[in-house]
Amino acid sequence: MQVVERHYTMMRQNQTVEYVRRMHDKFCWFNTDGSPKPRKAHGMMEIYEAFEALGDYVDSSDPDSAFPNIEHSFQTAEGIRAAGYPDWMQLIGLVHDIGKMMFKYGTPEDGHEGTATGCQWALGGDTWVVGCKLPDGACFPEFNKLNPDMADPRYNTEMGIYKKGQGMATLMYAFGHDEYAYQVIKNHTDKMRAAGAKGEDLIPDEGLAMLRYHSCYPWHNKGDYDRFMAPGDEKLKEAVLKFNRFDLYTKADVRPDVPALWPYYQKLIDRFLPGKLAW
């Protein structure tokens, strides 16, 4: 538990509006309309190559599992598959933590150290909305006072820099694997759509929401941030809650046979996320 508390202490101390903006500039190399910024992606990799980059990474913010993160990914996906949910949701279960591979491009100083006891405060952990008051529903709320933004009148009020009902998609979140994976996979999905891919072969908005918000427990679990919700956000919240039943409760001691399972999931990857993605 000491490692987990250290993790969240560092998250509170470092995850500020300025930091999040800087990480978006560093890691989200594409613009929100899909057009490239004047620099290249860190790398072009297929999903299996991203998993290879993730390697034996173990999340220091997660007290429930000491196994490599890829095994948790397969456990989550297999739980969704066994429950009979659609192919695209099974794939989201597989890739929901794949954004943690960004430690390959980050630095320990920026919270991207790929060791179980290193500085991982920008890789894993429960997230929150930056730019407004940190809620009591955040994990370890006693650490909220450590966040520099909570001493800044621009950011320490209920509304902060936002407006009522402006929509969850327009907010900024503590930067981590959720946001990174969401941005990378949404960018790839948008390019597939522009190239003429059929709707049944595209990850739907509910799947993208599962990626982006699955660690934002203050919103989908504690009832915070409803003031920012726009029409359609309730449907996305329900999707995230459905997904998180499998993310939370599939960290079983029975380790999955990854090589045996891989061919099935490669078929899903070839359908929904084919080719090389820009990371």
DSSP secondary structure, 127-191, as one string: --EESSPPPTTSSSGGGGGG-GGGG-TTTSSSSTT--TT--GGGSEE--SHHHHHHHHHHHHHHH
What pLDDT is stored for residue 34 in this prediction?
47
- Tens of pLDDT, residue by residue over 225-277, are 999 999 999 999 999 999 999 986 555 567 889 999 999 999 999 999 999 99
- Tens of pLDDT, residue by residue over 159-210, are 999 999 999 999 999 999 999 999 999 999 999 999 999 999 999 999 999 9
Nearest CA-CA partner of 75 in 264, 214, 258, 263: 258
What pLDDT is stored for residue 255 in this prediction?
82
For residue 241, count CB atoms less than 10 angstroms from its CB and return exposed for 0-12, middle for 13-18, buried for 19 or more: middle
Band (212; pLDDT cuts 50, 70, 90): very high
Is residue 72 within 8 A of residue 97, CB to CB? The reply is yes
Q: Is a pLDDT exceeding 90 seen at residue 2?
A: no
Higher pLDDT, 114 or 23: 23
Provide the 3-class DSSP secondary structure of residue 197.
coil
Name every residue whose Cβ is closer than 8 Å to that of residue 167 and which is 6 or more positions away in sequence: 228, 229, 230, 233
What pLDDT is stored for residue 41 in this prediction?
74
For residue 136, count CB atoms less than 10 angstroms from its CB and return exposed for 0-12, middle for 13-18, buried for 19 or more: exposed
Mean pLDDT for the stretch of residues 152-158:
98
Nearest CA-CA partner of 49 in 67, 70, 66: 70
Q: Residue 272: which H helix or E strand, with range?
A: helix 258-272
What pLDDT is stored for residue 180 in this prediction?
95
- Tens of pLDDT, residue by residue over 30-88, are 654 445 554 567 889 999 999 998 877 777 665 555 566 778 899 999 999 999 999 99
Q: Is a pLDDT exceeding 90 seen at residue 157?
A: yes
> Count of alpha carbons within 13 Å of 160, Cβ hemisphere only?
24
- Tens of pLDDT, residue by residue over 107-144, are 999 999 877 677 899 999 999 999 999 999 999 999 99
Pairing of strands 277-278, 44-45: antiparallel
What pLDDT is stored for residue 71 in this prediction?
85
